Structure 1
Amino acid sequence: MKRIQLGNTVFEGKNDVYLLDGETTTLVDTGVATTDVREQLEAELAAFGVSFADVDEILLTHWHYDHAGLAGEIQAESDATVRIHEADAPLVAGEESALSAENETTRRKLREWGLPDDRREELLDFLADHESLAGRPAEVTPFEDGETFDVDGVEYEAVHLPGHSAGLSAFAFEGESGEEAFVGDAILPKYTPNVGGADVRLDAPLELYVDSLVRFIDRDFDRAWPGHRDVIDDPSARAATILDHHRERTENVVGVLRERGPSDPWTVSAELFGELKNIHVLHGPGEAYAHLAHLEQRGVAERDGNVYGLVDENPDVDELFPAIDAQS
């Protein structure tokens, strides 16, 4: 297995593409569809004696442009099989109905979250300007949770971990250190993956993500290969730390509602994150929405229109999350 780190000035940076080079040449994720990244990926693969035309299989962890953007172009040169979870498959395939529905959902949720007109239009312009990063649509082969793929005698199991996106999936396999996994953005070594804004199709993103983190911890992987930056040598501890981060953020959201009274996600986002730019104009209120919806689901807050208010001024936030030892 070879790890290729690609530049990325649009999203989180240092995208990881993994090359499984054997009789069957396989890529895990592909990077974003920009000229610079395309040229870099071609050069990095060439250093290992591989071209786009040599690729047989592409395993995509999820639909986001910085992971799936070049899949269609690589497939056009190689006729590679592109595999992705069924929940994200229509977006990578460029299905008009799926793209239109995602666009309409984005517009609806931005209104529901309370973005001012000027900030909403600013964000929509930003998103429209970056649609080309999705790259060429691919002919996809969808998979379900638990499906396995044999690559040169190694079995890769799809482990569905929704939250950051509806279809986000890890690929688990037996590696040098024991059970390892390519995890995309399920967990990251530095950042906490966004929930709420990263995939607006999800109505209970934090609930789903918490369940995914618990499932991930229970799998107790020995090593994780993320979609950005460097290998994670204690993935269960990292997942538990991210879970604690969301517990703390929920406490902060409760604090905002207690101090300001009933508020919409945009107001809560401003208190949590301050002034936002570019993609973060989506991610900030999306994150606030995810936590507010979690409070509503657990009966701690209630929603009146697009505004959330506390039912209990002093809830026990610990009871809203599973008890996980961050040092496990």
Structure 2
Amino acid sequence: MKYISLRNTAFEGQNSVYLLDGDGPTTLVDTGVATPDVERDLRDALGDYDTTFADIDRVLVTHWHEDHAGLVARIQAESGCDVVAHEADAPLVSGDTAAYAAMDEKRRDLLAAWGTPAAKQEELAQTFGAHDDLGGEEADVTAVTDGDTVRAGDHEVEVVHLPGHAKGLSAFFLEREGRREAFVGDAILPKYTPNVGGADVRVDRPLATYLASLDRIVDLDLDRAWPGHRGPIIDPSGRARDIATHHDERTERVLDAVETRGTATAWEVSADLFGELHSIHILHGPGEAYAHLDHLARDGVLDATSDGYRLAD
């Protein structure tokens, strides 16, 4: 397995891409964004291993976000490779315009429901408009589901559905050199905590869904995880527990914000959590606050009203 680091100035810093070769299909896990600089970086990195886009037989996509799936169409155009993604994300990875339109409509509805100011919604729209080129072109995608197996290089990998950050986010699990490993995308990251609530507005009950995925990562008992950003995670179960603890602590901060304000929208709580928001964080900030507020409301701790959330009687 070869590890490739790609620059990414649009989102969370370096992207991690993985090349698996050998007797089986030459396979990439994720691709990076579809910008000329990143495409050149990927071509050069593959060239160091005597591999070109035309040599790629399969691309495994951990989730639909552009910094993971952006270049799949260009690779497929040169190689005719099989592009594999979870069935929940396959339409977005393929560039299905109806799927994107439905997601965009839901995002607009939620931004309004979260109390996001009109000026901030316009700033977010301009951010998306400035990054229209990150997603690349349309591609043919093979949809898989939890428990399916796929050949990648010398290995048989298993699809492990870990929704939360994205509806179809999936790890690709394998046993290699006596170790239990997985390519986990953004399910867990070594430095940041993956956003829930805003990163994919299609996810129902985003916090509960993500916490269940963290539990599943613990149950996998991995020796090593290969994330979608930065270097390997050597204690994946410990990292998953740390992220769950982080969300426990954030829940307390959300409750404090609601108690102080009396009634609070997701946008107002996000201001208390994160301060002034710009760019993509205009979506991620209130989305994260909403994930916690919705979780607490469903548990009966908060009441959801037309003006926001307040402590339940």
Q: Same fold (TM over 0.5)?
A: yes
Gaps of 5+ in 2: none
Q: Cα distance, 1:258 vs. partner?
A: 0.8
Q: Distance in 2 between matches of 1:151 and 1:19?
A: 9
Aligned to 2:55: 54
Is 1:143 the counterpart of 2:111? The answer is no
Amino acid at match of 1:128: G
Aligned to 2:17: 17
TM-score of the pair, normalised by structure 2: 0.98
> C-alpha offsets along residues 280-322 of structure 1, whole Å, 9 cap, x if unaligned?
111000000000011011111110125111116xxxxxxxxxx
Q: Secondary structure at 2:137's aligned position in 1?
A: coil
Q: Distance in 1 between matches of 2:171 and 2:310?
A: 36
Amino acid at match of 1:2: K
Gaps of 5+ in 1: 313-328
Q: Cα distance, 1:137 vs. partner?
A: 1.7
Is 1:181 the counterpart of 2:190? The answer is no
Q: Is the 8 A contact 1:112 1:306 kept in 2?
A: no
Q: Cα distance, 1:99 vs. partner?
A: 0.9
Q: Secondary structure at 1:206's aligned position in 2?
A: helix
Amino acid at match of 1:50: T
Q: Distance in 1 between matches of 2:96 and 2:81?
A: 19
Q: Is the 8 A contact 1:187 1:239 kept in 2?
A: yes
Q: Cα distance, 1:203 vs. partner?
A: 2.8
Q: Secondary structure at 1:128's aligned position in 2?
A: helix
> C-alpha offsets along residues 149-207 of structure 1, whole Å, 9 cap, x if unaligned?
12344210000000000000000000235110000000000000000010011231111
Q: Secondary structure at 2:310's aligned position in 1?
A: strand
Change (3 A) 1:185 1:69: same
Aligned to 2:272: 271
Amino acid at match of 1:4: I
> C-alpha offsets along residues 59-91 of structure 1, whole Å, 9 cap, x if unaligned?
000000000000011001100000000000111
Q: Is the 8 A contact 2:107 2:201 kept in 1?
A: yes
Q: Distance in 1 between matches of 2:156 and 2:166?
A: 24
Amino acid at match of 1:16: S
Q: Secondary structure at 1:203's aligned position in 2?
A: coil
Q: Is the 8 A contact 1:113 1:306 kept in 2?
A: no
Q: Distance in 1 between matches of 2:250 and 2:234?
A: 25
Q: Secondary structure at 2:194's aligned position in 1?
A: coil
TM-score of the pair, normalised by structure 1: 0.93
Q: Distance in 2 between matches of 1:245 and 1:206?
A: 12
Aligned to 2:68: 67
> C-alpha offsets along residues 245-302 of structure 1, whole Å, 9 cap, x if unaligned?
0000001000001111111000000000001111111100000000001101111111
- CA RMSD, Structure 1 to Structure 2 (Å): 1.0
Q: Distance in 1 between matches of 2:138 and 2:114?
A: 30
Aligned to 1:323: none
Q: Secondary structure at 1:286's aligned position in 2?
A: helix
Q: Secondary structure at 2:19's aligned position in 1?
A: strand
Aligned to 1:6: 6
Q: Distance in 2 between matches of 1:243 and 1:75?
A: 37
Deviates more, 1:236-245 or 1:127-136: 127-136
Q: Distance in 2 between matches of 1:15 and 1:177?
A: 26
Q: Is the 8 A contact 1:32 1:67 kept in 2?
A: yes
Q: Distance in 2 between matches of 1:9 and 1:21?
A: 29
Q: Distance in 2 between matches of 1:283 and 1:306?
A: 21
Q: Distance in 1 between matches of 2:79 and 2:219?
A: 38
Amino acid at match of 1:170: A
